[in-house]
Amino acid sequence: MLRYIARRLILTIPMLLGISLVLFLIYNLVQIDPLVMIVGERAMDNPEVVAAAVKKWGLDRPIWEQYLTYVVNMARGDFGASFLTRRPVMDDLRLFLPATVELALSSLAFATVLGIPLGILAGVKYRSLFDRGVWFISLLNASLPPFWTGLIFLTIFYFYLGIMPGPGRLDPRMSDPERVTGLYTVDSLLAGDVQAFGSTLHHLVLPTLILGGFTLALVVRVTRAAIIEEMRRDYIRTARGKGLSERRVIVRHALRNVMMPLVTILGLAFAGLLSGAVMTETVFDWPGLGQYLVKAAVNFDYPAIQGGTLLIAIVYVLVNLVVDVMYGLLDPRVRYD
């Protein structure tokens, strides 16, 4: 098991090198002066800064050596400085990542807590009116452009009805909780600020509905398909033959085997959450990685784009690794060799 994890981790290294190579090639192909990228336009007049950057990033060396230097600097967590915030990109990412994590976790929780029971019911009552209704709604849900739905929700629930807060993570009249984890829900509780905690939860509702909605459709569909498949198996007939209640047959027998395909789509769902975050965070003015990336892209803040994209790719690769490992933990038939 541990050997498997170790081997998989080693195998991600060429993957990450490939990812960094793609990003390196993109900016070399489009003929942007890498020096401007690293030191920022304002510092270009300062010969000392420029000379230091040339030395550090090996810009006077041949291109393959430049790539090596680039990889080494990246591996040290040095992505250069952002043009916009003028801080090291790494510090920025640390600052913005928690907001995205908080939103993604709450969306994932929403999607699974609602999606698994819905999927089970639809699958058990296969081809019933309820099943068709769930199918139709999840298909419609999967067709909603999140940046538009977010806007419509804000218009209705915030602007016209006034029952939901506007964009942002916290009531603007409140001060941010002292930063410990960067997750406002956790930090506000640690600070003992119940009001801030309530406001944070309230602000999470709409973005969670939008971002989690897409994942919800995915979870419902996979659960439904899996339960239909499992309910036809022999062991279900045996369980029924023993005289178990239908409820017990589903919860104790079928559900365990439905977990497998659900874990498999977790990686996919996570990618969806990261993609969705780019759009949702922009609409809800949510200070996360997605918004950071969009702002960087619109303002041609190349170091920030590079660092942010690389971080997302790394997170994504690691999540897929975790999914593969969980797969083995849940199903003893999966062997690691």
Residues at the contact surface with other proteins, assessed by CB under 8 A? 14-15, 18-19, 21-23, 26-27, 30, 32, 139-140, 142-145, 147-149, 151-152, 154-155, 158-159, 271-272, 274-275, 278-279, 282-283, 293-294, 296-298, 300, 302, 305-306, 309, 312-313, 316-317
| Shortest Cβ 192–other proteins spacing (Å) | 35
| Shortest Cβ 290–other proteins spacing (Å) | 9
Between 130 and 157, name the residue whose CB sits nearer to other proteins: 157
| Shortest Cβ 141–other proteins spacing (Å) | 10
Between 151 and 205, name the residue whose CB sits nearer to other proteins: 151
| Shortest Cβ 218–other proteins spacing (Å) | 13
Between 32 and 63, name the residue whose CB sits nearer to other proteins: 32
Between 210 and 239, name the residue whose CB sits nearer to other proteins: 210
| Shortest Cβ 267–other proteins spacing (Å) | 11
Cα separation, 255 vs 116, in Å, equals 10
Supply the angle between the helices 255-283 and 302-330 in degrees, to the nearest 10. 170
Between 185 and 215, name the residue whose CB sits nearer to other proteins: 215
Quickly list DSSP for 79-127: --B-TTT-SBHHHHHHHHHHHHHHHHHHHHHHHHHHHHHHHHHHHHTTT
Do the Cβ atoms of 273 and 280 come closer than 8 Å? no
The backbone torsions φ and ψ at residue 84, rounded to the nearest 5 degrees and listed phi first, read: -75, -55
| Shortest Cβ 298–other proteins spacing (Å) | 5
The backbone torsions φ and ψ at residue 236, rounded to the nearest 5 degrees and listed phi first, read: -70, -40
Between 19 and 258, name the residue whose CB sits nearer to other proteins: 19
Return the amino acid letter for 257: N
| Secondary structure class of 228 (helix, strand, coil) | helix
Do the Cβ atoms of 277 and 289 come closer than 8 Å? yes
| Shortest Cβ 161–other proteins spacing (Å) | 12
| Secondary structure class of 143 (helix, strand, coil) | coil
Buried-exposed string 200-234: b where 16+ CB fall within 10 A, e elsewhere: beebbbbbbbbbbbbbbbbbbbbbbebbbebbeee
Between 52 and 84, name the residue whose CB sits nearer to other proteins: 84
Cα separation, 2 vs 13, in Å, equals 17
| Shortest Cβ 160–other proteins spacing (Å) | 8
Between 142 and 322, name the residue whose CB sits nearer to other proteins: 142
The backbone torsions φ and ψ at residue 147, rounded to the nearest 5 degrees and listed phi first, read: -70, -25
Do the Cβ atoms of 209 and 110 come closer than 8 Å? yes
